[in-house]
Structure 1
Amino acid sequence: MSLDWNALGEVTAVSIGVTVAVVVVFALGVLGLARFEGAKEGGDGTSSLGMAQAALCFLACAAVVAYGIYLIVPQFH
């Protein structure tokens, strides 16, 4: 049995990179929700900006999850 160590390393690096990116984007979404709540309590006019940031970040996370499911499930191909 032979292993392609370069391919294994490449898959590992991409997996770690995508995982870190999704966690960062999700954290930015939580930050947007916190800004939205803070602006709502403080009466600031930037509450819609925080909600837009959160929505875009959570939508990006959902898109990555959906793409992963698409790659795993063979009936979608």
Structure 2
Amino acid sequence: MKIDWEALGSVFGVSLVGTVFLVGLFALGVIGLTKQDAAAANGGSAPLARTGAYACFTLCTLAVAYGIYLIIT
């Protein structure tokens, strides 16, 4: 039995980058919603923060759906 260390390292690297990207994107979405809530509490409005947050959540959903698609096919 021989282990292809280069392929294993490649899979590890792509998984690490993808995970950091998705967690960062989700965190940006949560921050955007928090900014929108803080602006609403102060009597203001932050439609850009809400739109950005929803965009981040949508991208996270699409990335997860694509990963599930890759697993299934």
Smaller-chain TM-score bracket: over 0.9
State the 1:65 CA deviation: 0.3
TM-score (norm 2): 0.94
Taking the aligned partners of 1:11 and 1:73, their CA distance within structure 2 comes to 18
Structure 1 stretches lacking a partner, 5+ long: none
Please give the secondary structure, in 2, of the residue aligned with 1:2: coil
State the 1:50 CA deviation: 1.0
RMSD of aligned residue pairs (Cα, Å):
0.8
Please give the secondary structure, in 1, of the residue aligned with 2:12: helix
State the 1:68 CA deviation: 0.5
User: Which residue does 1:25 correspond to in 2?
Assistant: 25
User: Which residue does 1:43 correspond to in 2?
Assistant: 43
Extract structure 1 runs of 4+ deviating beyond 6 A: none
User: Which residue does 2:70 correspond to in 1?
Assistant: 71
Q: Which deviations, in whole Å up to 9, do the C-alpha atoms of 1:2-60 show, x marking residues without a partner?
A: 11100100000110110001000000000000011011111223x10111111010001
User: Which residue does 2:54 correspond to in 1?
Assistant: 55
Q: Give % identity.
A: 47
User: Which residue does 2:13 correspond to in 1?
Assistant: 13
Aligned residues: 73
Taking the aligned partners of 2:70 and 2:48, their CA distance within structure 1 comes to 33
